[in-house]
Every structure is written in C-alpha cells, then in structure tokens.
Amino acid sequence: MPQSITRSLIFRAGLAMVGIVVLALTSMLGSIMIAETAGGDAAAINQAGTLRMQAYRLLSTRLQESVDSDVLHQRLEHFDADLTSPVITALIPEDPQHPLTKRYASVTEMWQDMLRPALLDTEARPPQALADQIVQFVSEIDNLVGQLQREAESRIQMLRLLQGIVLFLTLVLVLVAMYKLVNDVVPPLRELFQVVNRVRHGDFAGRLAYENNDELGLISRTINQMNESLSRMYAELEQRVEAKTAELKRSNESLRLLYEAARQLNSSTPGSEDFRDVLERLEQVTGLGPITLCLSQGEAERAYQRISTQLGDRPDFCQAPDCGPCLSGERVPPRVRPVVVSESDRRYGVLLMQHPAGTPPLRWQMDLVETVAGLIATALSLAQNNDEQRRLALMDERAVIARELHDSLAQSLSYLKIQVARLQSLIRQQASPADQDAVIDELREGLSSAYRQLRELLNTFRLKMVEPGLEAALNETVREFAQRGEVKILLDYELRHCPLTPNEEIHVLQIVREALSNVVHHARAENCDIHLQTTESGQVRVSIRDDGVGLPEQHARLNHYGTTIMDERAVGLGGTLEMHNRAEGGTQVVLCFTPQVTAGSESVTLLGGVQ
C-alpha cells in the first residue's frame, strides 16, 4: 500500500471506524451465538431434570404389587426417548474426553446396563437394592445436570470475557484515535486557523510548518503557496498603486503647471519674467534642465531674446550670435532636445531642453514640454494679434476722428470761409453797413456753433469707460448730462443677460450721448427716458424719449452733424436708427441692431424680450 495512502487522515479515520465497527460486530455476533447456545442449555438442563423424576416414577411403578407391564414398558420407552432426546444430545460434544461427554456416557451406560435391565427383571428383588440403584442413577443424572450448568456458565463467562475484550479494544482504539487527533490534527488546524486569520486581516507573511503527506499537509502547502502568491500579487499591486499614484501626482503637477502657465501667459502681454517663471516650473516638474527659450522673428537665423533657467541666461552650448543651428534644430548637442515654438505654421523660436547624457527624456516629459511650447506660441500669437487689433482700432479711431472733424468743424470752417469771402466782397463793393452786419452776425453765429461742436467733440474724444460694462458707462453719462441741464433723466437697463462686444458698447454709448446732447441743447425738455432691452427676434433696442418741443419740420438742419454721425454708427452696428416726434409730445430716437453674439448663429437664441 503506498505510503501517501497510509498517512492519509481519511484513511486513518476510516481504519479507526472500521476497527470500531468490527469490534462491535464481533461483540454482537458473539452475544447472539452464546445467547442461542444458552437457550439450548436451559432446555437440556430441564430435560435432564425430568429424567430424575421419571427415574423415581419408574421405581414407584416397579415396586407396586401388581406391576402393569404395559405401563412400565411405556414409561421405559418414554425415559429412553428423553435420555436420547436431541435437546440433550445436541449439547454433547463429539470429543470423547470432554467431561460432559463422559458424564452423558456414564448415565447412558448405567441406564442401559444396570437400571433398565433391573426394572425389566421380573424376579423379585429387594426394594432396597433397586432403590439404591435408582439413587445412584439419579446421582449420575445430577452430575450430568451439574455438568450442563457448568458448560452454560462457561459460555456465559466466555461472553463476558469477549465483551470485556471488545470493550477494552474499543476504548483503546478510541483513545488512540483521540490521541492522534489531539497530537496530529488539532495543532496543525490551530496553526491553520491562525494563518487564515492573519490573511483575513491582510497579513500574508504567515506560513504553516506542517509538512506531512496527508490532507492537512496538502492544505498547509496550498495555503503557503497561496500566501506567497498573494504576497507577490500584493507587492505588485502596491508597486502599481505607487506607480499610478506617482503618475497621478505627476499628471496633477503637469496640469497645474499648464493651468498656471496658461493663466500667466494669457492674462496680459507676456514678458521675459513670465516666460522665466514658466520655464522654472517646467524644470521642477520634469526634473530636466536647464531649459532655454530662444525667440526669433519668423525664419530669422538670430534670436532677439534668450531666456534660460541657467544662471546668466546663457547655456554652456550657446553659440550666439550664431543662433541658426539651434533655431533650426539641426546641429544641437546630443544632450539637448529642441522643441519648435510655433502656432499655425508661424515660428516664434525654439525651446531647448537639456537632459543627462545617455538618459533621454521620457514621453510624458516631451509631451509636457511640447504643450508648454504650444502655450508660449499661443501667448505670443495672441500678443501679436492684440497688437494688430490695437493698431487696427487706432486706425479706425483716427478715421472716426477724421470723419467727425470733417463732418463738423471742417464744414463749419468751410461755411465761415465762405462768409468771410462774402464780407470781403461787400467791403470792396462798399455795401451798406446793414448787409455787412448781417454777414458779421452769421460769422459770429458760425463761430459759436463751431466752438460748441469742437467742445462736444473734445468731450466725446475724452470719453473714458473707467468701470467695465455698458451699464456703468451709461450711468456716468446720465449723471454728466443731468448736471449740464435741468433735465430729469431715467435709465432702464435690461441688457444684463445680453453680452455686447467692446465695439458695440462704444457705438451704443456714443449714440446715447449724442441723443442726450440734442435733448439738453435743443429739446427744452424736463424729462428723458433711456430704455435698453432685447426684442423677441433677439435684437437690441435702444430708445431715448423726451417730452420737449419735438423735431422741427426741417430737423436735418438742427445739429445735422450729430445726426449724421449717429446714422453712421448705427450702420456700423449693422442696425437702423429712427428719429421721430411722439404723439404726446417730444422726440424719440430708436436704435435697433443684432448683437454679434447671435448674428450668423444657427443656435436657438434666448435673448427674446419685447416685440
């Protein structure tokens, strides 16, 4: 039998169970057999006991005066039948030396040879002699009965001995099994539970020392292998978690760097200090450096500005003013990685990143450097675009100033020039003083009008929007014109949900100011309402109403320069400007235009207001 099977706990437990079952069956079978034989012993003892009574009955029958031979023979046959009855003979061993066999043979021999012939002998015998023979025969029967009892008792004793032996062996087997259980099973199980409990609390360092070739040994080796696998997996998992944590931390630092760089570079026109701060943070995050930023104009082969994290703003490989190799990225040292700073195919320079020799930068480091280079390029592009926008705005403003000067002062001066020419002609013609005074009055009126127009233009050009937003500028305008005249001006601003561009805000503000100037100087009004709102179609509607004298029939003559500029500004907004008298008195100026936030958009507009 293989050793692994013999050392199996199940095999050993099975052997113990089989042993206990065998002993129990042995005890049960022995008890059954002895009980069966004990039942035959009782019948035999009873049968042998009746022989004594029949012997005395035969003696009584034989000693009667008139012996009935039939009755005597009948009783003798009955005695023979009982003596040779299977109840008794079944218990007689076949061994002739057995005491019970000898006793039975002695009784049978005495009956056949002595007592039976004496009872059949018809000759008169002394009764005492026959009685002595009967007594002797009954004594032999008693010995046979005693021997039968001793045989029965010996079987009972054998049963007791067998049960005692079986009980003893059962106890020994149980004690051995308990001893093996306590010494071979319980300690490994206790150790197994301790290791499993440690595993349950996350401790995979526990190991089982039980190494027998049984089920517990197999479980111990399996748990040891499991703990080793779990320890290895846990260590790998911790390494992965640490790697992911480091990666997330690095990503967080990179995002923070990109956010701060974008906010710093796009908040205003970036300068060298802004670029230096970004490069220093980039060097801290990537762990590479020094990092140098060389800015150039387009395809120029010389940089106009160099910013570096190295002391002195000059890296050790710099060959300035020969900047062509670095700007082109063709001839740079092996430990320097160039990154082009460009936006929309427009080059602004190059970002030079130094790294240790033999240790090239990682992919995430290059991605971060390239992204920062893109942010720098975007900031430079936005700065250039802002400069271009400012130049265009300056040119537009100069054009507006020139147009307004042409439409106001230039025409007034041209009119005055014509009046001066008339006055000179009248003087040469020696015209009457009245005609000359009329021309002089027109000159005086023209000069006053030109001076007033110049002052309004100066006020317009000096306009400042100190606080951001159209509403604040309109409030300041209302306070300004309310102080100029005795007009109560109310402002109803309902455009807080509608964003306007700075150009739209300036045009709206100038139109409102021009309309208020007409109200203060010409309308002779007491009240004026300014209402700004949006219509259902998404247009902005600006209404200026007063309760003054209204427009004359030829209102184009009255301050026609201001109305012309208002019309031009409305056209510049892509809208319309209407000016008419109100039925209840006064004048109303209405400006309608579509703001750029919704112009040309296919999305659903939410700017709807009044119709």
337: phi then psi, degrees, rounded to nearest 5: -110, 115
Q: Residue 360 carries which DSSP code? A: P
* CA 276 – CA 290 distance, rounded (Å): 11
**Is residue 495 classed exposed, middle or buried when 0-12, 13-18 and 19+ CB atoms within 10 A define those classes?**
buried
- Determine which of 218-232, 314-328, 489-503, 529-543 has the lowest per-residue pLDDT on average: 314-328
Residues 6+ apart with CB under 8 A from 545: 528, 529, 531, 582, 586, 587, 588, 589
What is the predicted pLDDT for the residue at 257?
77
Q: Residue 429 carries which DSSP code? A: T
Taking the domains of the chain in order of start, what are their residue ranges? 3-184, 261-317+324-378, 468-611
CA angle 157, 162, 168 (to 5 degrees): 125
What is the predicted pLDDT for the residue at 605?
46
Read off the pLDDT of each residue in 135-142 and give the average, rounded to a whole number.
Answer: 82
Residue 17 pLDDT greater than 80, yes or no: yes
Residue 606 pLDDT greater than 50, yes or no: no
Coil, helix or strand at residue 509: helix
What is the predicted pLDDT for the residue at 592?
94
* CA 288 – CA 367 distance, rounded (Å): 13
* CA 477 – CA 377 distance, rounded (Å): 41
Q: From edge to edge, which strands make up the β-sheet containing 346-354?
A: 305-308, 291-295, 346-354, 336-343
Residue 465 pLDDT greater than 60, yes or no: no
Read off the pLDDT of each residue in 328-348 and give the average, rounded to a whole number.
Answer: 75
For residues 381 and 345, the answer to whether their CB atoms sit within 8 Å is no
* CA 606 – CA 498 distance, rounded (Å): 9
Q: Residue 601 carries which DSSP code? A: -
Two tokens at 241? 């978690």
Residue 44 pLDDT greater than 70, yes or no: yes
The correct CATH number of 3-184 out of 3.30.2270.10, 1.10.10.10, 1.20.1250.20, 1.20.120.960 is: 1.20.120.960
pLDDT above 90 as % of the chain: 5
The whole-chain average pLDDT of the chain stands at 78
Strands (E), 235-274: none
What is the predicted pLDDT for the residue at 557?
45
Two tokens at 581? 């008298």
Two tokens at 120? 């059949």
For residues 86 and 94, the answer to whether their CB atoms sit within 8 Å is no
304: phi then psi, degrees, rounded to nearest 5: -95, -15
**How many CA within 13 A on the CB side of residue 163?**
13
531: phi then psi, degrees, rounded to nearest 5: -130, 125
Nearest partner of 349 among 309, 297, 386, 295, judged by Cα: 295
Q: Which residue has the tokens 């007791």?
A: 160
CATH number for region 468-611:
3.30.565.10
For residues 379 and 393, the answer to whether their CB atoms sit within 8 Å is no
Residue 610 pLDDT greater than 80, yes or no: no
* CA 331 – CA 337 distance, rounded (Å): 11
For the whole model, what pTM was predicted? Answer: 0.48
Residues 6+ apart with CB under 8 A from 432: none
Other CB atoms within a 10 A radius of the CB of residue 205 amount to: 10
**Highest CATH level, class, for 261-317+324-378:** alpha beta
Residue 375 pLDDT greater than 70, yes or no: yes
